[in-house]
Amino acid sequence: MKTHTLETAGADLVYDVRGPLPTSDGRPPLLMIGQPMDASGFATLASRFPERTVVTYDPRGLGRSVRKDGRTDHAPRTQADDVHAVIEALGAGPVEMFASSGGAVTALAVVEKYPSDVTTLVAHEPPLITLTPDGPAAVRARAGVREAYEKRGWGAGMAAFVAMTSWAGEFTDAYFAQPAADPAAFGMPTEDDGSRDDPLLSDRSWAVSGYRPDADAITAAATRVVIAVGEESEDLLTARTSAAAAELLGQKVVVFPSHHGGFCGGEFGQPGKPDEFALCLRQVLDGAA
């Protein structure tokens, strides 16, 4: 693996290349992106593609990529510019892309803005909460996570986030009538360390979850777009947002093994089924599923 730093006006973007460029197998590079997860979250999945040249990167302001634009928010179209810059720096585009969570939102923005950059995009569980039928309630639930974080710190905020993302079905009055989630019940710290800059719990990534993809631009692009969902996600929020995104694009979701982080090994303490996930991803990229 070789690590590179691409200096742009707004950020110094760090990306990793596993395998040769130009590729040795005649396939495009396989670019894996996340948000707010950085490149470290793709180590297990990348290792399941030893025959491919795999590229991962840290979005601006996350991991090793240092911002120089004076901003703290995470905006999909800005990150799309960054991904485009990385693809240009590779000199081997267009690429195939697997994108996870907020990275899947960025990837859809890439297809909108740079339709020649990606041949196939597998967008796994994009958290586009305003697309769901209960979009206003989902936005209210998101605000509740930020409120818990601002008032009581990281543990309370993360507990609220887990409660929101593990709620099955639409956000009803029963959801909002629940008592505040107890961080201790999830094994999280109850003390407040004073920090308020978490990209997941603050409002810094609201532009990601509130993004409205341009369906006309995406469907007009030559890119083959696949919206994927984990089989264990069932009726949880990111499964519902995935279904809504697929409907917006006039398609059905493709079901993948495991959960929202189903491609991970031990990176974050909640391993999925990376072998089964990689097999499914390979089949989808090959057009066999």
Query: Tell me: the pLDDT tens digits for 67-121?
Result: 999 999 999 999 999 999 999 999 988 999 999 999 999 999 999 999 999 999 9
What is residue 100's predicted lDDT score, i.e. its pLDDT? 97
Establish whether the linkage from the previous residue to 94 is cis, with ω within 30° of 0: yes
Indicate the pLDDT class of residue 289, thresholds 50, 70 and 90.
low
What phi, psi does 13 have (nearest 5°)? Answer: -95, 125
pLDDT at 58 over 90: yes
pLDDT at 269 over 80: no
Q: Is the pLDDT of residue 134 over 90?
A: yes
Which of 282, 233, 225 lies closest to 251, judged by CA?
225
What's the confidence (pLDDT) of residue 233? 96
Look up the pTM and report it. Answer: 0.96
pLDDT mean over 155-183: 96
* Contact status, residue 36 vs residue 199, Cβ threshold 8 Å: yes
